[in-house]
Amino acid sequence: MAEQQIENPWYQGQAADSVTVTSGEKVIRFKNHHVVDVEKTQGQHVLKRDEFPRIFDDSQQQFGYLDTNNDSFITVADLQEGLSMSYDHTKLPMFSLAELDIAIGACDTDKDGKISMEEFKNYTEFNAQKITKEEDAVCNANKTSCVNSSRMKDMAASVEAHAKVVTTTRAPRQLRPGPRGDEKQRFKNSGQIAGLWTFGAPATAHEQFRNAFELNGVFPGLRVFARTRVAGWFWGYYQKSDPVSWISSYGFGSWSTGFVHAHHDSLTVKDYEPASPWRDGASNDQVWWPNRDVYYWVSGHTMGASGYTGLVSKQTDYPFLVKAARFASIYGDIPEPTHDKISGFLKEHTPGWQLLGMSWAKGGHAGLRHLKDMTLLMQEASTQDCVLVFSGSNDLSDWLGNLAVWSTSWCGMDGVHTGFVDELKQAVSSHGYKTTIKPKLASCSAVHVAGHSLGGAQAEVFSACVMNPKEPGEDGYDDYQLVAWEKGPVFEVVHSSPAGACFVTDKGRCVTDGIGKHDINERCTIKILQRATLKIAPGDFDTETYYDFVTIEGKRYSGKTGPHGVKVEVGSFMSWLSDYSIVNGGFKICA
């Protein structure tokens, strides 16, 4: 190899094809910014392709090497050229843009998007001791040989440990208005979501959706995304995530779209530790997770045994999640699905569940729509719980809709992803949905919503509207009417003596002996139509202690102690009995 001078000024006078690296005692042959060869001296460590060589002990020299255009600043472009060119790209992919953004953000104290020599020196020297300790811990844990590295190595390798750097360097975001506090009372008979379960779903809105029925704004259920790891070219491991879960947040360049996920707990399922998923509570930072990668772990987006369905089945902390994943995978697991095929699938994989409704919609981008997108409603016979499932992206037209990154208004909320809103509107406006699914939601004790990919985005947009209900005249009321339903009756009076002694109110959500005092010698039997938790308002339970009582599952309730908070199951019964003498105010029990 012919001798050639390195262009960087601190290499002037040194032989370019033989540079001895004192850190690790390796011989690395450089030509400009390329590692063209690595040799091992006898008995010494071999530099591996996934190890970043610290070729300078001095921070000024390190800075100069990374400042590829010699303008006295390091930018993302400099890092891409200086760092990524140090590797054989036929064997190792380029560095992630997320890593490079984190590297810039961690050093860039004045937040001007670039690193000065002073910023770089202060950061590297301040963290020198911390870096050494962290590297030793990682190397000892992995039982691998390690080389010392610069802080740039530490910053870039810390995508997972320091993921919050990405969000905390952003400008503060305005939050959607929180709940007014009276939604539970004003919309007590309106359908609500018992759980939102998404798998590999993209972010949906410029401002995080919040649940108006809860003061903390958190949606029930979990947002799940998959993660893998590869041996780090800095140290330890580099984490890669399902790209669809971050594509609508970060797009194809730095901060290009800015959509975020709903205020919803997330669960990271790892293919290398599937039995130990990570749960992260909803927060203003977490709605941006996971961070972007410059190359795509496409296989991490699949359902089925090798994808989300298989991964969540290996954990035991969230049993309902396993069912939700199975339902979300139906559209991909069953070629040309029909009612009979899906019923057979449910019988085999989720015994006790049946298909209540099935609809098709003209999915996809305008001009390319055809009957393709599927919506399903399943119900468990024993509990009457339901799962509403939206199908994922299944053709080019769907993906064109996914990439429609402009925003629109939905259910009175601005900044919502247009493509996802369009897909959902087509699904819930279809004839099949309005006739075979929506009317049956009232028969569900609880409604869970699930979906994978585009289906997960639709599930999130659907749930956001349901959990932010509107009244006539309010902005977004027309959208709300597309997804809203009234809760079905919980109580049915199957026997009353004398006639009318007991009756239901509030559309079957309450049962009572009437206004004022009850009568003597009343006998009633009430059937439970949906699983529910009983509620009694102050003053709504007043009977003669021991002698006039409500009985549920063999337990009697009398006096002023009613069955508030008691859970009742579908098909069970409760009874009312008053004796021949003293009469009191009676009862009103609701669900």
Confidence of residue 235 (pLDDT cuts 50, 70, 90): low
Whole-prediction pTM value? 0.65
Q: Is residue 359 pLDDT above 60, yes or no?
A: yes
**Packed helices 59-66 and 76-84: angle between N→C axes, nearest 10 degrees:** 100
Per-residue model confidence as pLDDT tens digits over 423-447: 999 999 999 999 999 999 999 999 9
- What's the mean pLDDT in 97-110? 68
In this structure, which amino acid lies at residue 349? H
Omega prior to 498 cis, within 30 of 0: yes
Whether domain 9-158 has CATH 3.30.70.20: the reply is no
CA distance 329 to 309: 7
What local confidence, expressed as pLDDT, does residue 28 receive? 37
3-class SS at 50? Answer: coil
CA distance 349 to 372: 24
Per-residue model confidence as pLDDT tens digits over 373-390: 899 999 999 999 999 999
Does 22 or 485 have the greater pLDDT score? 485
User: End-to-end alpha-carbon separation of the chain, Å?
Assistant: 83
Per-residue tokens: 564 = 């508030």
Q: What share of the chain has pLDDT > 70, as a percent?
A: 68
3-class SS at 223? Answer: strand
- What's the mean pLDDT in 197-223? 94
Range of weakest confidence among 230-244, 318-332, 520-534: 230-244
Residue range(s) of every CATH 2.60.120.290 domain in the chain: 491-590
Q: Give the Cα-Cα-Cα angle 381, 387, 392 (nearest 5 degrees).
A: 140
In this structure, which amino acid lies at residue 108? D
3-class SS at 58? Answer: coil
Domain at 491-590, CATH from 2.60.40.2470, 2.60.120.290, 3.60.21.10, 3.40.50.150: 2.60.120.290
Residue range(s) of every CATH 1.10.238.10 domain in the chain: 9-158
- Work out the mean pLDDT of the chain and round it to a whole number: 76
What local confidence, expressed as pLDDT, does residue 237 receive? 73
Q: SS3 for 122-138, per residue?
A: HHHHHCHHHHHHHHHHH
Per-residue tokens: 30 = 């450089």
Residues facing 277 on adjacent strands: none
C-alpha distances in Å from residue 503, one per residue of 131, 201, 512, 518, 587: 72, 45, 6, 12, 11
Does 31 or 271 have the greater pLDDT score? 271
Q: Are strands 386-390 and 407-410 parallel, antiparallel or unpaired?
A: unpaired
